[in-house]
Structures are given as structure tokens and as C-alpha cells.
Amino acid sequence: MRPELINASVLAYLGDSIFEVLVRDYLVKESGFVKPNDLQREAVKYVSASSHAAFMHDMLDEEFFSADEVGTYKRGRNTKGSKNESLDHMHSTGFEAVIGTLYLEENFDRIKVIFERYKQYINNK
């Protein structure tokens, strides 16, 4: 499979679902929350567009992402969404496109590295 030939919105669609599973898995196993409402409330911190956007801005400044990942991010960020789409949502779409691409490439180790760094970032906010 060649992710570079897939529409960036589709990559983001896939990346969003992969990231959601990672967050839920982490929260169920490690957060200490046991009630679904508490888990959902906590999950919002991790899956919000504003959190994705802030993470991307900081990680781009740190040069955390490879050149290929930055290219994928920009493709996703620049996809045409709704007219009222926020800048945060655009950056979030780019982040999700990176995750979707890595998943299709079966680069699960890199997804894990990104997710570990993301958890640290969110938990230290």
C-alpha cells in the first residue's frame, strides 16, 4: 500500500481512529479511572483538535518529526474541510494523517514513540 497515493483526508480518518484506540487503551490500563464518564472526560484532553495542534506546533519546533512525516502533516493540514473549519482542526487533521500513514506503513514502533511523547506532552500541560 502506498499512503502517498491516498487522499490525506482518508489518512486522517484512519489516523483518528487509531489514535482514539491508543488513548482509550492507555486510559483504561493506566489512568486509574473506572467509570465510563470519567474515562470519556479524560479522553477529551487527548483527542481534542486543540491538543493535537499544540503538540504539532511544539514538536515541529523541536524537529521531532521526520521530513516525510512533516510532508504528510502538511498534506493533511491543507486538505479542504468545511468553510468553518478552525486552524486547530486543520493542524489536527495533519497530525491524524501522520498517524494514519504510519499505520498503513505498519510502522507501529514509530506510532508508539509518538504516542509516548504525546502522553508526556499532555500530562505535563
Residues with active-site annotation? 16
Stretch (H or E) spanning 1: none
CA torsion sign for 116, 91, 79, 66 is negative
Contact criterion met (CB below 8 Å) for 6 and 104:
yes
Rounded distance, CA 60 to CA 4, Å? 20
